[in-house]
Amino acid sequence: MGLKRALANAAARAPAPVFPVVGCGARDAVRALRLRPELDFVSTPRAAGIFLVAGQISEALDRAAAAAHDSLGHPRATLVWRPDGAGAGRALEGFPEGVVVDGDPVEAILRLHNELMTGGRPSEGPILPDIDPAPWRGIGPYGQGGAGMTGGVPFGRPLAGRGYDRDGLSLDEFSIRVGPFLPPLPPGLMLDLKLSGDVVRSVQVVFSPMPGVPDNPFRRALTGPVPIAELETARARSHLCWLSDALSALGMQAIAERTLRLSANLGPGDAEALRRLYRAVRRTGATSWATAGMGALDRIRLSGAGAGPVARAAGLAEDARLDDPAYVALGFEPVVRDGGDVAARWHQRLSEAEQSLELALAAGDLTCSQTGRVESPRGELSAGSHPSARLLRQLPAILEGREWGDAVATIVSLDLDMEGTGGGPGELALKRTVV
């Protein structure tokens, strides 16, 4: 018993392993928590003890959040956190055993972790019923669940069939759904895939709405003037937050944390610190051999789509700031690159972050004078249109035929944000098949 107690106490003192489910309005707040040394954010629920539900989760994503919860090992506990301080709302309905916090959640997470490790709190039970999601047992002649030897949908998942491979072989092809809470994909993104080994054969974007529209300077600029210094500093911070996520997806945790720390305190006078970071990122190879030639989008696909950095990385000088007299007075010209691949998008955002800090420093008290449309960090934003919704249409074309690791790097390079994308199943559900 003494050894068991000693091990429990040691586990209680270790950083709390947390798996976050990120809802609307919580993405930046959860990023900030990653800088807390007391917490260990893990990439799979199997490795977590604390299930963090942050922000508002839509009813359409309830079952996916519950399935992620039930994937945690024991002991486990749930913390429901609303960073905006608005209370738990409907999020608590799906997690009746969850502890609700509106302010800084770290103390509550550590307390839950300590209680779980020392036996002071019982482990939570499952949320979903323990039944097969599809009838299949005993249907086939051998009890395997379908016609012949490979039919049926055991545990709700179709058995693999044969598919043509690019090497001329006939390989097993299986269907799988990924998301909506799978790191490092953006929260809310769900994809129905067909895979042969680790090669993506077909892609379908599944409509998974994120409720609400977060408040930020670019949303406010749609209806009134906002200081250019505020907009451009926010743009640079957004690009650095994306960069931190992208570096983390490649396994470069140390420089990812350095990037996130810089973004948290970024100001117009930090251009030199940003340039030093740019040089450090280039030395990793992430902007060259690791991503060159991957996930290329050409100008024809992106022309007129208002795709922001993604379009400018492909050579299109499209930027809503060109129509704003205040930006014209500052001599603004968009940064443009050739290539259109993942590496070009990395370079594009790093260059645009540096340019944004220079604009913020030069702008003084100038405010943007254009309303109704604004250039957000992800592209042209208007009241009824979101740049990420337009980029979702491109996913099948650039993912099919890619190995899964390259597909993930490609998705991350697009900097998709499912919040406020709007649309519906008819608009976003796309499918193409590669032979």
Question: Is the residue at 62 inside a domain?
Answer: yes
Question: Is the residue at 265 inside a domain?
Answer: yes
Angle between helix axes 271-284 and 342-363 (nearest 10 degrees) is 170
pLDDT at 38: 93
Question: Is the residue at 210 inside a domain?
Answer: no
The residue to which tokens 């994909």 are assigned: 185
pLDDT at 386: 81
pLDDT at 426: 36
Can you tell me the distance from the alpha carbon of 368 to that of 352, in angstroms, rounded to the nearest whole number? 18
Global pTM reads 0.87
Question: Is the residue at 319 inside a domain?
Answer: yes
Which residue range(s) make up the domain with 288?
A: 217-385
Could you tell me if 229 and 102 lie in one domain?
no
Question: Is the residue at 21 inside a domain?
Answer: yes
* Number of folded domains that form the chain: 2
Question: Is the residue at 192 inside a domain?
Answer: no
The domain spanning residue 300 has which CATH number? 1.10.645.10
Could you tell me if 90 and 230 lie in one domain?
no
Could you tell me if 231 and 101 lie in one domain?
no
Those residues whose C-beta lies under 8 Å from the C-beta of residue 297, and which sit 6 or more positions away, are 310, 314, 340, 394, 397, 398
The domain spanning residue 89 has which CATH number? 3.40.50.12280
pLDDT at 215: 75
Residue ranges, the chain, pLDDT below 70: 1, 85-93, 135-152, 154-157, 159-160, 163-171, 208-209, 211-214, 420-435
Could you tell me if 379 and 244 lie in one domain?
yes
pLDDT at 14: 86
pLDDT at 431: 38
Question: Is the residue at 419 inside a domain?
Answer: no
Could you tell me if 264 and 378 lie in one domain?
yes
Single residue among 99, 118, 137 that ends a domain in this structure: 118
How many residues in the chain? Answer: 435
- Per-residue pLDDT tens digits for 266-313: 999 899 999 999 999 989 888 787 788 888 888 888 888 888 899 999
Those residues whose C-beta lies under 8 Å from the C-beta of residue 344, and which sit 6 or more positions away, are 313, 314, 337, 338
Single residue among 95, 118, 141 that ends a domain in this structure: 118
Instruction: Give me 199's structure tokens.
Output: 């090669």
